[in-house]
């Protein structure tokens, strides 16, 4: 805990001024860490299984849409491996070189995923355009249907588990993983549709066309992943509702005269908040310290993973403030 204070004169009165406090980054809930790490391992395991199944099916069918799904799964494996590594790093405790912890490694993983998946989408799009110029019938359709049905069920189970983990932990890396696996569900449906239209109705162009549809879905997922990762890396403010909640909780303390200069950010599952409390200038340093402790405890009841920095100002002091 860092406390800086000085007794000064303000409007002819002795005031306790410039009091700020923080504390070491708290350890994340061990249950949440276990959930996140389990989700990372499950993602890698599913990706490996799907790659084996889709490789076998693509060799048997020569389907472009299935090839696009295979390429997506190959990159899923890379992305999921990065996620698995990132969540392990993200939940390492704070150290001398990283006093705020390692939470941003999740956002870095999300951004790397976005780059990798974009490369996958461009490759699949090129392959689909080439096949569109010379459409062909899909062979061994039953193999393709069996594999993509299995893929659909495996991916559905993984996405359901990932969403559960994200709801419980707020993990950005697992959330990014869930976004592109959710796109994989639509990919599997598109491949099954392409096989049906190609083999049953003779619409050979359906295979490369639906391959292009898959590309669009992949790029849409990339945009979501990249924007969220960039927001965290650039310390985007938490939603306005969080600011209002902080103000409401802090102002509820009977000794608090005002709250201003609220600033927030996030890194992984951790939230960082700082703000100024306006207190009676006649308070002793000990009294101001106690009030800040009580306000901190109240805010942390609302935001259990938050790390707080509180600065105490004498009420009525004139000083520069954030214009927003």
User: Are 272 and 158 part of one and the same domain?
Assistant: no
Residue-number span of the structural domain to which 199 is assigned: 30-233
304 token code pair: 């259990």
Q: What is the pLDDT of residue 225?
A: 76
Given pLDDT bands bounded at 50, 70 and 90, which one contains residue 261?
very high
What's the rounded mean pLDDT across residues 177-204? 78
CA distances from residue 89 to 28, 83, 142 in whole angstroms, order as listed: 13, 10, 43
Q: What is the pLDDT of residue 297?
A: 93
Is 74 in the same domain as 192? yes
Query: Do 286 and 227 have their domain in common?
Result: no
pLDDT for 277: 94
Average pLDDT over residues 214-238: 81
Confidence of residue 288 (pLDDT cuts 50, 70, 90): very high
Q: Would you say residue 226 has pLDDT above 80? A: yes
Q: What is the pLDDT of residue 2?
A: 35
- How far is residue 144's CA from residue 62's CA, in Å, rounded to a whole number? 10
Of 88, 89, 101, nearest to 306 (Cα)?
101
Same domain? For 102 and 114 the reply is yes
Output the pTM of the full model: 0.59
Higher pLDDT, 199 or 46: 46
Mean pLDDT of 17-33: 50
How high is the mean pLDDT of the chain?
Answer: 79
Q: Is there a single domain that holds both residue 54 and residue 189?
A: yes
Q: How far apart are CA 228 and CA 179, in angstroms?
A: 11
Q: Are residues 217 and 254 in the same domain?
A: no
Are the C-beta atoms of 101 and 163 separated by less than 8 Å?
no
Residue 197 sits in the same domain as residue 301:
no
Mark whether 136 and 265 lie in a shared domain: no
Above pLDDT 70, what percent of the chain? 87
């Amino acid at each position: 805990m860092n406390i800086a204070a000085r007794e000064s004169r303000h409007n002819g009165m002795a005031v306790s001024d410039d009091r700020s406090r923080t504390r070491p980054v708290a350890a994340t809930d061990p249950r949440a860490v276990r959930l996140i790490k389990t989700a990372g391992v499950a993602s890698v395991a599913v990706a490996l299984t799907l790659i084996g199944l889709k490789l076998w099916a693509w060799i048997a069918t020569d389907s472009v849409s299935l090839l696009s799904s295979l390429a997506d799964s190959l990159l899923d494996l890379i992305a999921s491996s990065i996620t698995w590594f990132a969540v392990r790093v993200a939940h390492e405790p704070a150290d001398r070189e990283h006093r705020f912890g390692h939470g941003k490694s999740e956002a870095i993983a999300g951004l790397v995923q976005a780059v990798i998946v974009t490369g996958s989408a461009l490759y699949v799009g090129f392959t689909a355009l080439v096949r569109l110029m010379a459409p062909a019938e899909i062979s061994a359709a039953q193999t393709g249907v069996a594999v993509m049905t299995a893929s659909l069920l495996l991916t559905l189970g993984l996405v359901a588990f990932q969403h559960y983990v994200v709801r419980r932990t707020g993990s950005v890396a697992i959330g990014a993983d869930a976004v592109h696996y959710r796109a994989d569900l639509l990919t599997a449906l598109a491949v099954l549709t392409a096989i049906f239209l190609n083999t049953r109705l003779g619409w050979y162009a359906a295979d490369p066309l639906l391959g292009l549809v898959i590309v669009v879905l992949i790029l849409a997922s990339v945009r979501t992943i990249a924007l969220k990762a960039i927001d965290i890396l650039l310390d985007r403010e938490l939603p306005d509702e969080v600011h209002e909640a902080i103000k409401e909780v802090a102002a509820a303390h009977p000794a608090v005269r005002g709250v201003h200069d609220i600033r927030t950010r996030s890194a992984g599952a951790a939230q960082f908040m700082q703000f100024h409390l306006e207190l009676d200038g006649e308070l002793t340093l000990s009294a101001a310290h106690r009030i800040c402790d009580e306000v901190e405890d109240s805010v942390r009841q609302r935001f259990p993973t938050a790390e707080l920095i509180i600065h105490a100002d004498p009420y009525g002091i004139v000083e520069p403030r954030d214009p927003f």
